[in-house]
Amino acid sequence: MVTEKSAIFIIFGGSGDLAHRKLYPSLFRLYKSGFLKDHFAVIGTARRPWSDDYFRETVITSLKDYFDDDEEIMQGFAKHFFYQSHDVNDSEHYIALKNLAAKLDDQFEAGHNRVYYMAIAPRFFGTVAEHINSEGLKTDGYNRLVIEKPFGRDLDSACELNGNISKAFPENDIYRIDHYLGKKMVQDIPNIRATNAKFEEALNNKYVSNIQVTLAEAIGVEDRGGYYETAGVLRDMVQNHIMQIIGAIASDAPEAKEADVIHKNKCDLFGSLKEMTPEQVDKDFVRGQYDTDKLGNEKAYRQEDKVAEDSNIETYTAGKLEFDSKRWSGVPFYVRSGKRMPGKASRIDIVFNSNVTELGIKANTVVTLLIERTDNHSILINGIDYKESGQDFIKFPEEGDFDNAREAYESLIIDILSGDRVHFTLWDELRSTWKYIDTVEERWADQQPDFPNYISGTMGPDAAEMLLERDGNSWIWD
């Protein structure tokens, strides 16, 4: 059942790419489905001096890229949009923002609720949070702060950022977005585990040979070279998205529904990540950077806009993670992510060993969970659509569920409006994952990589294949 929500959204970076490509289309879907109806307003803020009318035009223009609804519905939606020119470093502007929010709250009867959304460069997150607090923007309704990635670039910077925002907002009001946690399959994993006793019984070191998580892209960095030069794929994809996917598949007690229990289990899992020596990093982590393609048509990473000619930033990584826990000790978790790979893939491959025959499951069964559908199947077993495989090992959501699934941002915005923090990352989780990633980054910083080391359109450096061959394993997605 759809319950209408009431809030004033203040979107810092309201003229930017994220707001136009993700947030406004998601808000529009919520408007069409009735979650947002009469009692909401959106204030977009950024420095450029736009009028309300011009802002509404930009919103409608971006909606037209995704929807073919009547212009009238879009106009009705856009009437809830207002614009306030604002430099986040300027204290006076927060007073103007506060007054506008109060006026719109009266006009739309928004229940004094505020969602402060940081669709702005990370260096401003702390400044904005502090000003919201010091300039008295908070109301007697709820006041929720939404933070985009990246949350720091190492443990120290993440601690500093967290220190700044937590002076202004209690942890319970902070919603750190990891949009993979908004994806249907990632959200369904606990449910699949809780409702498939045999699968759950097999998810441990007695029955699992290894688990593989792949997030691959066919495209290069495109126009994000400037950002990528400050990050690299390990920070951009592994520290957050891949770790959270592992959290969904490998944490204990998937039947838990309470956010506190779910997060505690995830924290325990990340806390049990086996520490690595620098020599182990050399052995267990591979990095790569794309060269041009075989025909020399595509740009090498070092030829991309805003990328240094001698850049040592990695566009590919593969690694072997291990956990010191009763459940997972001895099971390698192989992860990889890269740009300019042969295709797009977002998947988890769970490779069972021969002990599973005890449970009546075929030896060496591979269960693949597709996080994003790149073909017509949501779930595969041994490469076969589970429905055709004739196995009743696991029951998955129906295909139709996936077709009707909400977009990740839409689902996360509903959670924010409902005060449900299950699908957001907590500070304790980030602390453990950054600590782990820092070990790799620190070792890499001490060494000169031999870049570029893979051809665009290929599976990455050969060392990534050897990482698994060494253990007698191989990548399932190849």
Q: List, by residue number, the catalytic residues.
A: 241
Question: In the complex, what is the shortest distance from the CB of residue 216 to ligand NAP, in angstroms, rounded to a whole number?
Answer: 18
Question: In the complex, what is the shortest distance from the CB of residue 303 to ligand NAP, in angstroms, rounded to a whole number?
Answer: 23
CB closer to ligand NAP out of 121 and 308: 121
Alpha carbon 78 to its chain centroid, in Å, reads: 28
Return contacts of 151-159, CB within 8 angstroms, 24+ apart: 151/122, 151/176, 151/240, 151/425, 151/430, 152/122, 152/430, 152/434, 153/230, 153/231, 153/235, 154/434, 154/437, 154/438, 154/441, 155/431, 155/434, 155/435, 155/438, 158/430, 158/431, 158/434, 159/431
Nearest Cα to 315, choosing from 177, 179, 215?
215
Distance CA(175)–CA(168), nearest Å, equals 13
CB closer to ligand NAP out of 82 and 393: 82
Distance CA(371)–CA(400), nearest Å, equals 15
On whether the CB atoms of residues 468 and 283 are closer than 8 A, the answer is: no
CB closer to ligand NAP out of 21 and 206: 21
Beta carbons within 8 Å of 455's beta carbon, 6+ residues apart: 290, 291, 292, 293, 294
Per DSSP, the chain holds a count of helices (H) and strands (E) of 19, 16
CB closer to ligand NAP out of 12 and 169: 12
Paired residues of 335 in beta bridges: 213, 319
Question: In the complex, what is the shortest distance from the CB of residue 18 to ligand NAP, in angstroms, rounded to a whole number?
Answer: 3
For the chain, first and last CA: distance in Å?
A: 42
Tracing tokens 């924290």 back to the chain, one arrives at 267
Q: For residue 271, give the amino acid letter.
A: G
Question: In the complex, what is the shortest distance from the CB of residue 409 to ligand NAP, in angstroms, rounded to a whole number?
Answer: 10
Question: In the complex, what is the shortest distance from the CB of residue 379 to ligand NAP, in angstroms, rounded to a whole number?
Answer: 27
CB closer to ligand NAP out of 122 and 288: 122
HSE value, Cβ hemisphere, 13 Å, CA-based, for 429: 29
Distance CA(79)–CA(82), nearest Å, equals 8
CB closer to ligand NAP out of 10 and 120: 120
**Gyration radius of the chain over CA positions:** 23
Q: Which helix (H) or strand (E) segment is 385 a member of? A: strand 384-385
Instruction: Look at phi and psi of residue 172 and say left if phi exceeds 0, alpha if psi is from -120 to 50, else beta.
Output: alpha
Question: In the complex, what is the shortest distance from the CB of residue 431 to ligand NAP, in angstroms, rounded to a whole number?
Answer: 20
- Whether the bond between 452 and the residue before it is cis, its omega within 30 degrees of 0, is yes
Question: In the complex, what is the shortest distance from the CB of residue 330 to ligand NAP, in angstroms, rounded to a whole number?
Answer: 35
Closest-by-Cβ residue to ligand NAP is 16
Paired residues of 253 in beta bridges: none
CB closer to ligand NAP out of 71 and 222: 222
CB closer to ligand NAP out of 16 and 449: 16
Residues contributing to the site for ligand NAP (CB under 6 A):
13-18, 46-48, 86-89, 119-122, 148-150
SS3 166: helix
CB closer to ligand NAP out of 284 and 415: 415
Instruction: Look at phi and psi of residue 399 and say left if phi exceeds 0, alpha if psi is from -120 to 50, else beta.
Output: alpha
Tracing tokens 């947002």 back to the chain, one arrives at 36
Please, where are the H alpha helices in 109-154? 125-134
Question: In the complex, what is the shortest distance from the CB of residue 319 to ligand NAP, in angstroms, rounded to a whole number?
Answer: 22
Question: In the complex, what is the shortest distance from the CB of residue 421 to ligand NAP, in angstroms, rounded to a whole number?
Answer: 19
